[in-house]
Structures are given as C-alpha cells and as structure tokens.
Amino acid sequence: MSVNRDKPDLWKADVAKSVDMYNAWFLEFAPQAFRETRIKATTSVEHSLEITRHLRDVSPATFRANPTILPTLRMSTCPPLAVDRLIGLAGVSDSLVANLEKKQRLPPSMDEKDMDQDLAKIGDIIEQMADPDIFVWLKRGDDPTEIETHRAATIVADRLCGAVANPIIRNAQEARQIEAIRTWLSAKGYKEVPPGERVEFRKMTPGTFSFRLNVQVLVGTTKPVNIPVDAVIMPKTAKANQLPILIEAKSAGDFTNTNKRRKEEAVKMAQLQAAYDKDVQFVLFLCGYFDSGYLGYEAAEGIDWIWEHRIEDLAKLGL
C-alpha cells in the first residue's frame, strides 16, 4: 500500500509544510551547528599554526609528521587556494594532494625522494602566499601574541567552515531526522540494535531497528558492494523471511539540489530490487525543499516517502 506517492493532490500542501519545517529548524539550530563546528576548527587551526611555527616552517618534515594540515594551509593564503589551483601552482602530483586532502595521509606507494620534493614545493607556495593581513607577525618577523594567534585561527576556521557549510548543515539535519525516527519507534515499543552489534539486515529480530546499516547488493558483474541505509526496521508483525523496511533520511535547503540528486535514490532502489525482490520497501524520510518534479520522479520509480512533519505516517508502513 502506498503512503504518499499515489496522492499527488496532497503534494503541494505537503511541500509547503515541509519547507516551513526545514526553515524553522534552520533558523533555530543551523547557526548553533555551524558555531560548534567552527569552535572545533579554530582549535585545529591553532594546533596547525603551532606545529608550523606559525607558518614559518611548512617543510616536508612538518607534513610527514602532520599529514592532516593541508586543508588548513590552503585556507591560510591570499587568496585561499582550491585543491586544483594548488596542484597547478606548485606543479606537484595530484595523487599526493588527494591523499593529503581526502585520506589525510601520505601516499603509501610514492617514491620518498619525489614526495619530499613535492612537499617542499607545496610548503614554498604556502609560505609565499600566506595572508599578511591575517598573519600579521610574518611581516614583523617576531612571534605572535596569544590574541593574534586566536584571531588568525578564527578567520581561517571561518574559511574552512564556509567551504563545507552545506555538509555541516546537512549532517546536523540528518542527525536530527535520525533522532526523530528513533523517538517515534521507541514510543511504539521498538528496540534499537546496539550500535556495536552489527547484524545482517535480513536476520533482524521482529520489533527491532538499526541505523546506518550496510546492505549488500551486486553492481553488474562485479563483487558485492555495501549500500549504507539510514534506518532499517523489522516490523513487529514480520513473517519468516520478510525483509525489513529500509528508510533513507533526506533533507534539502533548496529545490535545485534535490532535482540534481533525485536519480541517486532511483539507482539505489533498482540495485535493491535486483539483489532481493520487487517487494523490497525502500522509503524516503523527507524534510525541506522537495517539489512536485522531484516527487513525481521518485513516484514513477516506485519510491514512496514519509514527510517528517507527518511522521505518524510511519504507522502506514506496518510499523
């Protein structure tokens, strides 16, 4: 039985309510989430300044001892450097920079001599382009005061957080959505599988649920891959061999990005149906800017959804 995908006459009103709910949350909680992240980032930047002798020692040895500092250093220049711009300016291996940025490690298979040469080039660019209006002590040639260090760290932390503002907000909203599902299920007498006790999703006990559980699927003829699912719930009334309900928490602060990403859920649905059966229940849990174009696309792919502002509709899934 469909919950919302077969009721297009309700979509317009639900979209308006969902947008209102997201905006109310954003105004109240998004600034707090951003500030908390900025505080942590400021502490991290202060540490990076300390280990680089306040940007006067960006040497290969410093990178080797602290391979996580490159994002901070890129935001310390004037202007701040994008990854590709740094690679082009320094003339270094994109694999080296990718490892430092994404995996926060040194590339395990790179020649040691070549690595040190590239790290030295990166350090030279950072020292040459260090923002003199932020790191005022570099012109003076002395050590910064504690206030100057903290002020500089706060500015760089703002740059770092600004570059990843959307993920910060999205992660905070996802955590809130997960908590809403947990609260609703617990009130209905469902029990959460302890986080450290990973279970195979088809073997879950009726009346239990788990968050961020991996579900294996086959992609083409390749080996199985794991699809992370935000919430997996085995109904209390589940019969033998019945699959649990799979829920994907989705939030969005504008209409543009949802329509760009709408194929992601359709691909996941197709993979799940191919791996298990056509009756697999893959449901979206929506809050925010999801317009009729997005909803119509998902409905055509056989994907249903629950609106967070009407969370009690979870009961219509047999929960």
Encoded amino acid at 16, one letter: A
Characterize the bridge pairing of strands 304-307 and 208-217: unpaired
Model confidence at 221: pLDDT above 80: no
Interval 224-241 mean pLDDT: 87
For the sheet containing 225-234, what is the strand order? Answer: 191-192, 208-217, 225-234, 245-252, 282-288, 304-307
Mean pLDDT of 76-89: 92
Confidence of residue 99 (pLDDT cuts 50, 70, 90): very high
Q: Which residue has the tokens 């959460």?
A: 192
State which amino acid sits at residue 132.
P
Q: Which of 297, 267, 260 has its CA nearest to residue 282?
A: 267
The answer, yes or no, to whether residue 122 has pLDDT greater than 90, is: yes
Q: Rounded CA gap, 54 and 255, in Å? A: 43
Cis peptide preceding 79, ω within 30 of 0: yes
| pLDDT score of 169 more than 90 | no
Phi, psi of 82 (to 5 degrees): -70, 160
The token pair at 313 is 């509709």
pTM beyond 0.75: the answer is no
pLDDT in tens, 239-295: 888 889 999 999 888 887 777 777 888 888 888 887 787 778 899 999 999 988 899
Q: Are strands 282-288 and 245-252 parallel, antiparallel or unpaired?
A: parallel
Q: Among the listed ranges 130-134, 158-162, 243-247, 300-304, which one has the minimum average pLDDT value?
A: 158-162
Q: Give pLDDT, residue 226.
A: 83
**What integer pLDDT is reported at residue 316 of this predicted model?**
93
pLDDT attached to residue 219: 65
Question: How high is the mean pLDDT of the chain?
Answer: 88
Neighbours of 275 (CB within 10 A): 15
Q: Which residues does residue 285 pair with via DSSP β-bridges, in sequence order?
A: 249, 306
> How many angstroms separate the CA atoms of 162 and 305, rounded?
32
pLDDT recorded at residue 220: 62
pLDDT tier at 153, thresholds 50, 70, 90: very high
pLDDT at 168: 80
Q: Smallest Cα–Cα separation from 275: which of 235, 215, 228?
A: 215
> What value does the mean pLDDT take over residues 36-49?
89
DSSP for the chain, written as a single string:
--SSTT-HHHHHHHHHHHHHHHHHHHHHHHHHHHHHHHHHHHHHHHHHHHHTTTTT---HHHHHH-TT-HHHHHTTBSSPPPHHHHHHHHT--HHHHHIIIII-S--TTS-HHHHHHHHHHHHHHHHHHB-TTTSTHHHHTSPPPHHHHHHHHHHHHHHHHHHTHHHHHHHHHHHHHHHHHHHHHHHTT-EEPPTTS---GGGPPTTEEEEEEEEEE--TTS--EEEEEEEEEE-TTPPTTPPPEEEEEEEESSHHHHHHHHHHHHHHHHHHHHHS-TT--EEEEEEE---HHHHHHHHHTT-EEEEGGGGGGGGGGT-
User: Residue with structure tokens 């907000």?
Assistant: 169
With 0-12 CB in 10 A as exposed, 13-18 as middle and 19+ as buried, what is 154? middle
Percent of the chain with pLDDT over 70: 97
Tokens 């500089």 -> residue? 152
pLDDT at 172: 87
State the span(s) of the chain assigned CATH 3.40.1350.
Answer: 8-30+166-317
pLDDT at 214: 85
Is residue 129 predicted with pLDDT exceeding 90? yes
Tokens 């957080």 belong to 161
**CATH node for 8-30+166-317:** 3.40.1350
